[in-house]
Chain A
Amino acid sequence: MLPLFVAIPLGVGFLLPLIEEFRDRTRLFSLFVLLETGGLLALSLIKFGDKGIYRMGGWAPPFGINFVQDGLSSLILVVISGIAFVTTLFAITYMKEYENLGKFYGLFSLMLAGMYGVALTGDIFNMYVYLEVAAISSYALVGFNRGAEEIEASFKYLIMGAVGSVFILLGIALLYGSVGSLNIADISVKVSELPDDSFIVLSTALFIVGFGLKAAFIPFHSWLPDAHSSAPTPISAMLSGVLIKVLGIYALARLLFNGLNLPGIAPSILTWIGAGSMFIGGMLALGQKDLKRLLAYSSISQMGYITLAVGMGGILIGQGKPGIATLALMGGIFHLVNHATYKSLLFLFSGSVEKIFGSRDLSEIGGLNSVSPVSGAVGTIGTLSISGVPPFNGFWSKLVIVIAAIWGKLYPLAGIILFTSAITLAYYLKVQRQLFMGKSTGNVSESVKTSAGLYIPLLILAICCIGLGLLYLPEIRGIVLKPAALALQEGSEYTKLVLGL
């Protein structure tokens, strides 16, 4: 069953441009993509919690390529499918006036195929190939409008992404040169036999830089605000909601925890990069006027939380505190799920705001609550969640991370997290004041105000934002988050699952 996650989007991705060559049927394309993402969502929910591997072409690991499903990849599959489904619902209404929709949905499906592949594969070179499939489709999608700014953003993203890919490939080459295997589980076994190899250290550094470029950690972030604000809105939601997580932090964590057995100083580097991204991203977001740019900088900041939590988990494993390490990893994964929901909610919301007012500049628009109460309410839920106000999901994941930092006696990190939360609250209060309150200005488009197709996806995500707080309850946490955290923490379990030792 596992190859279907890659095969279905790949098939749809090639079928839609083929149909478009003969006739341009926007409704047919929408139906296809909706069926595809809906089916994949159902499949990922049915398969949730399963463990197992799939041998491609019947070749046993470590020789053949294999797909691995464990606690973490199950969760990532559900996140990708869920966000993709909601984004497609939104795109059907939003993208109506655009041309070449067959190519748009085709590239969208290819991007999905790449992300599913990265989430599932158990082979580093295969991971690189899927990563490039997802990345190349996203470069093209960012420049889909073909305006000057879109092309510029796409080119910037393309150069940075290509450099990142080359770093990753060099890391893979060095790793293959020193251990002679490409299977992640097999690498883990062989690395534990030769712990102090300088090539492995070098390749770890290359992986951190390469995946850091994909995940927009702070010294490498300059492409993200341009790319995420220039892309068509559904794509911005996909990029910020899922792509940077799957291609960046998930792939890096999988390699560092399960493949390289957490080499020495890597977790602390990851932690401090995370802390830096969190803080500087938040500070840069404070000064933004464009709503989408503000959201993009806030993505950098929120990615910092996830990275910090994952790195902190690594540090705590190294210190011999497995219980707190599980808590930190659970916090990171919880925050990943939460950020996927509320950041895609906010990006889709920014798209509907742009449709209503015809602008995204916060100094030009205002009074959303009186213009469109539904949109205002949904946006308020999103901003409250991301700034960490108690009943919503953002609060609970930040709470878990802070508790883990305090119990692990990493007080400076706890301080940075709390301070950054205050900054986050500050810039979202600015959004609140300028966008939701105040006088209604600009030309308001009446037809968009009542369009159900734009609001239903937003409402679904808003309900998720409230409902996902339930993951904090120990019973639900034990089913959903704990297997995911343990999949990273217990490297030997992964090896056992793949190699059957």
Chain B
Amino acid sequence: MTGMSSIVKTVTRWVSPFIFAFGIYIALTGHLTPGGGFPGGVIIAGCFILLTLAYGKETTFGLFNLESSAVTDSLAALAFLCMGFLGYVFGGGFFNNFIQSGFPGTSFRLLSGGNMPIINLAIGLKVGASLFAVFAYLALFRAIEED
């Protein structure tokens, strides 16, 4: 039997999209409120961990398997580095905030952080993917070895 009782499954089905959306929200508004890429990513990973616990690994891996987590992990890291290089090209210095200068007078809005939301989103995706991969490898060590 895979997964837990139908109560847990139903509650998880209702709650997990909101957890995912909350993780994205925390990551995107990291420059305005407490939070940021790392907490957001942990919440995103928590959503997938909850799914794995409730439904078993087959269902979760159908959504997001270990290969795609490795790809997301590397791509997010490269995106983070790309922001650094774009700052080098457009802002005159590595990781300079080059978008900020284009939108003056928009304080306390999403774009007021310049390139911060993009960087936070990249960090969030990376943390989410790698934390989920860590969980999957450690919790399902034997099952993955046998595959």
Contacts and interface: CB of A to CB of B under 8 A. Distances in A.
Contacts of A14: 74, 77-78, 81
Interface residues on A, range: 10 to 19
A431 to B, nearest CB: 41
A3 B84 contact: yes
B3 interface: no
B120 interface: no
Contact of B81 (A11, A18, A57): A11
A57 B87 contact: yes
Interface string A3-14: 100010011001
A25 B127 CA distance: 27
Centre residue among A10, A15, A58 by max chain B CB count within 10 A: A58
Given A7-B85, A10-B81, A55 B74 contact: no
Contacts of B67: 21
Contacts of B77: 10, 14
A54 interface: yes
Contacts of A17: 70, 74
B139 to A, nearest CB: 20
A479 interface: no
A54 B94 contact: yes
A202 interface: no
Interface in A1-49: 3, 7, 10-11, 14-15, 17-18, 21
A54 B84 CA distance: 14
B71 interface: yes
Nearest to A103: B70
Nearest to B79: A14
Contacts of B92: 58
Contacts of A18: 70-71, 74-75, 78
Interface string A428-464: 0000000000000000000000000000000000000
B132 interface: no
Contacts of A7: 81, 84-85, 94
Contacts of B88: 3
Contacts of B95: 3, 56-57
A18 B85 CA distance: 19
B78 A15 contact: yes
A44 B136 CA distance: 41
A58 B67 CA distance: 37
Contacts of A15: 74, 78
Contacts of B75: 18
B93 interface: yes
Interface string B47-90: 00000000000000000000100110011011001001101100
Given A17-B70, A21-B67, A57-B87, A3 B94 contact: yes
B96 interface: yes
A58 B96 contact: yes
B140 to A, nearest CB: 18
Interface in B2-50: none
A54 B87 CA distance: 14
B97 interface: yes
Nearest to B75: A18
Nearest to B77: A14
Nearest to B81: A11
Contact of B71 (A3, A21, A57): A21
A7 B77 CA distance: 11
Centre residue among B74, B75, B84, B85 by max chain A CB count within 10 A: B74
Nearest to A19: B74
A56 B97 CA distance: 10
Interface string A264-289: 00000000000000000000000000
B91 to A, nearest CB: 7
A53 to B, nearest CB: 12
B70 A57 contact: no
Nearest to B72: A18
A13 B146 CA distance: 28
Contacts of B85: 7
Contacts of B70: 17-18, 21
A58 B97 CA distance: 9
Nearest to B70: A21
A10 B82 CA distance: 11
Interface string A127-157: 0000000000000000000000000000000
Nearest to B76: A14
Nearest to A55: B93
Given A3-B84, A14-B81, A21-B67, A57 B74 contact: no
Contacts of A58: 91-93, 96-97
A17 B67 CA distance: 11
Contacts of B74: 14-15, 17-18, 21
A225 B85 CA distance: 40
A57 B78 contact: no
B7 to A, nearest CB: 38
Nearest to A6: B94
B73 to A, nearest CB: 8
Q: Which 7 A-B pairs have the closest CB atoms?
A: A18-B74, A3-B94, A14-B77, A57-B95, A14-B74, A58-B93, A58-B96
17 contacts: A7-B81, A7-B94, A11-B78, A11-B81, A14-B78, A18-B74, A18-B75, A21-B67, A21-B70, A55-B93, A56-B93, A57-B87, A57-B94, A57-B96, A57-B97, A58-B96, A58-B97
Given A10-B81, A15-B78, A21-B70, 8 more contacts: A7-B84, A7-B85, A14-B77, A14-B78, A21-B67, A57-B97, A58-B91, A58-B96
Interface of A: 3, 7, 10-11, 14-15, 17-18, 21, 54-58
